[in-house]
Structure 1
Amino acid sequence: MDSPLNITLGARMSAYLVTPDDYRKQRKRINRRLYKLRHELGLITRDTKNYSTKEKTSKITGEDYERDSKYGLVYLLTAERDILYALEIKNLLEISNEKSSSYKTLMISKIKRALSNAVKVLELTQNDNDDLRKVELYVYAALIQGQLSVTKKQWSKALNAFSIAKCSLDYLYSQQSISNEGEDIEQQQFNKTLINELVDTLVDPSLNLAISQADTTFATTDLKSISRKHCHDNEVGVLGNVIKLIESKDPSFVSDISESVELIKEIDWRDHHAQLYNDEIAFKIMELSNNKQEWTSFNDPNQFDSIITSWTEILELHKLDTEKNQDDDDLEQVQHRAIFLTYLNYNLLFTRLKRDLLLIDQLASKKEIENNKDIIRLYNGIIIIVQELKDLPGVYNDDDLYTSLENLEKYYQSQKSIVIAESYQYNGQFGESLKIYNYIEEELLSSIDEEYYKTDFPFDVSTNQEINRFKQDLKTRLLQSHISAQFALSSRGTSQYVIENLTKFPNGDLENIINLSKTPKIEPILPKPVLFDVAFNYISYDLGRTKTTTTTKSPVVTESAEEEQGGKKRGGFFGMFGRS
């Protein structure tokens, strides 16, 4: 038998059932499939006389299921057919109230029959080796039980049934990528979508309804915490086995955290206080806080990956919790959630910043100039992180924190510039390096005093003492760079060729120009072969003397005369020296 949830609820989701007619068509499809399956297994009884003694479906046993899982599918499809009939009637009642009493009675009877068949499937699959399939069957039965309890206004049973369904669905979701490695990606994505759809559209709304109608007072509004507490109520005994099954695999999905651990109720950030409304988030925050002394002393960047993952998980949980409560009209609770969001982002960003600083230290310790490119890239990422910290809600109004973050950004800009200056120095470009050091001193660190930072940062990513050391180191670098640039400028020397500059001569003796101790050797210079270019150098067109010329009227030459002249044969050497 394939996934029970895909066969039933997955088929419903794919069919987009909205109207009573949609449910009727889906019920008929299930009925036709059920008929073919019963015919295949030989469960059809054609002799209807004394049918109760001759029908075969009720006589299916666990041995039949172990031999062929299709026997369990018969009961599962029968339960699905009955619940579809009940949902069809429910949609009809929402449209019209005619004969509402009789229709409601029929609806309850169909839900009861569906629950009976679902329980029968649970009995048949007790010895099934596939635990995930068993959990899915319990989820299906719990959803039917919950719908029946809501219809009959039995709120304690409804709370217990939907709590079991929620805990089981959370467990199934976590197992999708672990246990279903053989499935294709599309099937895994469909399974996750189905689980999310069930939780968002059926389980959570039903839990909220049961909570609002129950007599019990709840200390938290977190549905996950409530479901983990009330899944142990044992209001519906047949469903309790799935809690034991999940507990044997992973107790965290069914354990009530609030009873075993005293959770923190609020967090403090700067001068703000935020109350926590989610027990799971409070528990994870406590775990991080208890291990704070350990992870604040980490020196390996890889050790921070788990811390970053923990902060990210808490952040995602809080965002999901905020989305589910976005319609909350309690302004105080909204403000607490906003403060807590800033608190999470603040710690997550500083954890990432610390990890990147350790990566830079690792690269810098190798003292290889090729690593400077990666170091500059890491500093660019750190600067972006600081800018994100400045943009967090509530930071701008905190003058001390905002000023300190601005100075922190300048400090890391300076550190990046120093790496660039070192690269220029390595390539012998001491002048460019000197300009960068001057820029850092004059523009970025001109206002450094003892209170460069007005507040402390997590992990001590930078302190006022570090800034003072940085200033002294910068002075040393500036002096060294100035000396190197001056030495490079003076060691360049003059050119070896006099012709480049007539006012400068090469260093040393004149032997670089001509050796006077030997008889000079005079050799002819090969000129460029020319024909008449040299002669033209001696032609003088005008020596500056003014001559009085008499202008005479030239005779008008007609066009025909010009043509005659052009047509005459020219004499001389290639027509260059013609007859006059």
Structure 2
Amino acid sequence: MDITKFIVERRLKIQIDSSYKHYQPEITRQIQTLRKKLDIATKRRSKYISKAITVEDISRSHEFVHFQLLLAERCYANAMMMKEMHMVGKKGLTGPTRSHIDSRLHKGVKYAKHLCRLLSDKSTTNANDADILEARAYAASLAGARYFEKESWESCVKSYSEVWIIYTALFKATNADIFKDLLTDPVDPSIRYAAYKMGLPRTLAISAIVRQNFPLEDQELTRQLGKLDLDSLKDGAAVSEVESLESDVAIKTIVWRSRTVVLEDAAIAVALGSVKAATPKISNALSSSSRKDMGLAYDDVLMASQEAVDATKHAIDELASEGVEQSDKRMQSLFVTRTRNIYEMISWRVGRNRAMLGKGDGLDVDPPRQLYRKKADRIVPREAGTSRKVAPLQANVVLYDGILKDIESIRELHGVTSDSELMEELDAKYSYFQALRCLMLARAHAIVPNSENLRNSLALLNRAAEKCTAAHSKLSSSMDTTTADSPPNLTVISSQTENLLAYLHCELQRYRALVEIYDFTSATPQPADENVRQAPLVERLHEYPADGVVDLKNIVNYPPRMEVVPVKPLFFDSAWNYIDYPGRTTEKTAEKAAVEEEAMETEPEELQEQHQQQKKGWFGFGR
């Protein structure tokens, strides 16, 4: 019957519009359409009679289930719309408004529970245990929302605990992301907030809160959950064992820049424990020969790190909504935790890019795949094209750009700019990856060996050597104890900078020799070019002489000969009417003066004629 999917698809409109204003009319239109389709609409000029659906209706068509869900969802939408409208006003939620919201949610719960009772008759409705559990979870979620608005926190936790257990069991059985998304929002935040209002400690995990408040006296629900997932409900010993395992995985304290912070939020502690548990998987994947597989090994760590960052932000937002100032000790501890978690997440992101670069952060280049072509009756090797050679180097440059951008984002974190030692360390790491990027660009220039490309490569190598020298001088005194066998992250040890610096010095000497060889061979006159005359200097002013010597004996062509000269075209047909050319201006002025004189002579005569025609007296009558 897909009860949960049906509701989630309807609520997607709320996420699009970010408002319940248009959600309730949409649900009402769907109800009217479904009434006509099921032939239960009230006829014109007839009195409306409320008639509840029966088991026989559901056995006839499963769309009666959707009809009942829409009735409950309309009550929920009406309540949320009233809350949204009154929260914007000056008075906020008053007593009558809260009572009205509670009555609408209560009516929605009645519709949902009636559907659960109807679906319990499996033989008639053809419903399975999953359908009944989904309907039960929907009814419990509406009840939890009602108790949340009433600020009845204990009942709210009990209702949402039932939802949490059901959706967790359904997710394990079906592996559908829709149940996981519903657990993320709104079930988990509602349980966490209601538990906080009840005075429960923040270090208590959500799974422990749920098991303590789940209605175990409901034997039918327990039986259905046991058939769906045996591990969803356990006895007391098993529950305590799970909770002890969770407490072992969770991290109690963290250290950031010689400052120890005690984690009071259980969500942050569990997320950091997941990061710690996923780290050994990266070490096992380092032996893989595929760079792509090594990069994919970081996905679990990155997801867990992102969850830790989100949990920290959520905890800060909760304290801020309660009016806690930033100078408070709890807020300061969360700020330090957030900076540390974001730094670790970015560090693992940089490590993934370094793993995809290969051994030595891209210093060791894999040999290109040998290409072959068929010639006559045999296959002979052929050289790869320039674009094929440049492609892997270009991919590495993109990875270096991502690393440099990540390091720049660390500098903007809270409290990093005031730590001068950390800023110097970040600058050194930034210079190290800049040197590697310059090295990769130098290799790309040297693919087509000519004098200009080799000079560009030599300049880039010199730049890389300068950057690496600056990085090595700062990182050589670092107290980092990370070994080379650990998974790659943002950490750069002194041996890596030392190897890069030695390699760059060797490459500098080699490219200097190559540039000298090319300059020497290009300066040697070739017998075949003795009779070739170069263009004069006046035509080569945009070129800088490679040897610094200008041939002053070939400045211009002498004796001069007829040549094509680039000029700007003049379109006389369009410019003639707008440009005064010499000779034409005098004639125009003379004509204009003659016209003005004629006008002056004719003007007095016209005035005299007008004066004679004028009659005396009033209104033109003579006297």
Q: TM-score range by the shorter chain?
A: 0.5 to 0.7
1:418 deviates by 2.4
1:161 deviates by 1.0
1:160 deviates by 1.0
Which of 178, 195, 200 is the equivalent residue of 1:217?
200
Task: Say which SS state the counterpart of residue 254 (structure 2) adopts.
Answer: strand
TM alignment of 1:128-139, pairs within 5 A = 133-139=131-137
Which of 69, 80, 96 is the equivalent residue of 2:62?
69
1:504 corresponds in structure 2 to none
Which stretch shifts more, 152-161 or 72-81?
Answer: 72-81
1:476 corresponds in structure 2 to 506
Q: 1:314 to 1:232 in 2, by over 3 A?
A: farther
Contact 1:23 1:87 in 2 (8 A): no
2:425 aligned with 1:434: no
Q: 1:121 to 1:154 in 2, by over 3 A?
A: farther
Task: Say which SS state the counterpart of residue 513 (structure 2) adopts.
Answer: helix
2:584 corresponds in structure 1 to none
Contact 2:173 2:229 in 1 (8 A): no
2:352 corresponds in structure 1 to 355
Q: 1:481 to 1:171 in 2, by over 3 A?
A: same
Deviation per CA, 1:420-470, whole angstroms, max 9, x where unpaired? Answer: 333444414344433334444456526854853524367375321232333
Task: Say which SS state the counterpart of residue 273 (structure 1) adopts.
Answer: strand
TM alignment of 1:3-402, pairs within 5 A = 3=3, 6=6, 10=10, 37=38, 60=55, 65=58, 68-69=61-62, 114=111, 117-125=114-122, 133-146=131-144, 156-166=154-164, 168=166, 199-200=185-186, 204=189, 208-209=193-194, 212=197, 214=198, 217-220=200-203, 224-225=206-207, 228-230=210-212, 232-234=214-216, 240=222, 243-244=225-226, 247-248=229-230, 258-262=243-247, 263-296=250-283, 298-300=286-288, 301=291, 302-316=293-307, 318-319=309-310, 322-323=313-314, 325=318, 326-328=320-322, 329=324, 331-361=328-358, 364-368=364-368, 369-370=389-390, 371-402=392-423
1:403 deviates by 1.3
2:428 aligned with 1:445: no
Contact 2:435 2:465 in 1 (8 A): no
Deviation per CA, 1:502-546, whole angstroms, max 9, x where unpaired? Answer: xxxxxxxxxxxxxxxxxxxxxxxxxxx99xxxxxxxxxxxxxxxx
Q: 1:420 to 1:277 in 2, by over 3 A?
A: same
1:406 deviates by 0.9
Contact 1:142 1:239 in 2 (8 A): no
Q: 1:240 to 1:365 in 2, by over 3 A?
A: same
Q: 1:435 to 1:276 in 2, by over 3 A?
A: same
1:380 deviates by 2.5
- Partners of 1:472 and 1:279 lie apart in 2 by 48
Q: 1:204 to 1:392 in 2, by over 3 A?
A: closer
- Partners of 2:5 and 2:461 lie apart in 1 by 67
- Partners of 1:337 and 1:105 lie apart in 2 by 36
Q: 1:10 to 1:23 in 2, by over 3 A?
A: closer
1:544 corresponds in structure 2 to none
Q: 1:322 to 1:415 in 2, by over 3 A?
A: closer
- Partners of 2:367 and 2:258 lie apart in 1 by 43
- Partners of 1:450 and 1:81 lie apart in 2 by 65
2:430 corresponds in structure 1 to 409
Rg comparison, structure with higher value: 1
Deviation per CA, 1:157-196, whole angstroms, max 9, x where unpaired? Answer: 43211222355567779999x759xxxxxxx9xx999x59
- Partners of 1:124 and 1:445 lie apart in 2 by 78
The residue identity in structure 1 corresponding to 2:458 is L
1:486 corresponds in structure 2 to 516
- Partners of 1:450 and 1:33 lie apart in 2 by 72
Q: How many residues align?
A: 468
- Partners of 1:275 and 1:376 lie apart in 2 by 40
1:408 deviates by 1.6
2:621 corresponds in structure 1 to none
Contact 1:234 1:240 in 2 (8 A): yes
Contact 1:166 1:227 in 2 (8 A): no
Contact 2:353 2:403 in 1 (8 A): yes
2:488 corresponds in structure 1 to 459
Task: Say which SS state the counterpart of residue 264 (structure 1) adopts.
Answer: coil
Q: 1:336 to 1:293 in 2, by over 3 A?
A: same
- Partners of 2:95 and 2:116 lie apart in 1 by 32
Task: Say which SS state the counterpart of residue 367 (structure 2) adopts.
Answer: coil
Q: 1:114 to 1:355 in 2, by over 3 A?
A: closer
Contact 1:173 1:192 in 2 (8 A): yes
Normalised to the residue count of structure 2, the TM-score between the two structures is: 0.57
Contact 1:395 1:401 in 2 (8 A): yes
1:523 corresponds in structure 2 to none
Task: Say which SS state the counterpart of residue 267 (structure 1) adopts.
Answer: strand
- Partners of 1:104 and 1:269 lie apart in 2 by 47
Instruction: Structure 2 unaligned segments of length 5 or more: list them.
Output: 42-46, 87-92, 369-388, 534-560, 563-623
- Partners of 1:451 and 1:353 lie apart in 2 by 18
Deviation per CA, 1:23-42, whole angstroms, max 9, x where unpaired? Answer: 899889969966985859xx
Deviation per CA, 1:399-422, whole angstroms, max 9, x where unpaired? Answer: 333212211211222222223333
Task: Say which SS state the counterpart of residue 413 (structure 2) adopts.
Answer: coil
Contact 2:24 2:74 in 1 (8 A): no
The residue identity in structure 1 corresponding to 2:348 is T
Pairwise CA RMSD: 5.6
Task: Say which SS state the counterpart of residue 396 (structure 1) adopts.
Answer: coil
- Partners of 1:417 and 1:8 lie apart in 2 by 51
Contact 1:65 1:125 in 2 (8 A): no
1:570 corresponds in structure 2 to none
- Partners of 2:498 and 2:456 lie apart in 1 by 25
The residue identity in structure 1 corresponding to 2:346 is L
- Partners of 2:28 and 2:106 lie apart in 1 by 16
Deviation per CA, 1:196-240, whole angstroms, max 9, x where unpaired? Answer: 9x955x99558745752x4x6334487x45653445343666655
1:571 corresponds in structure 2 to none
Which stretch shifts more, 432-441 or 478-487?
Answer: 432-441
Q: 1:23 to 1:227 in 2, by over 3 A?
A: farther
Q: 1:240 to 1:274 in 2, by over 3 A?
A: farther
Deviation per CA, 1:120-164, whole angstroms, max 9, x where unpaired? Answer: 134235985666543431122213544676799875443211222
Deviation per CA, 1:84-142, whole angstroms, max 9, x where unpaired? Answer: 999999999x77769x99x9999899678546524413423598566654343112221
Contact 2:143 2:156 in 1 (8 A): yes
Q: 1:349 to 1:39 in 2, by over 3 A?
A: closer
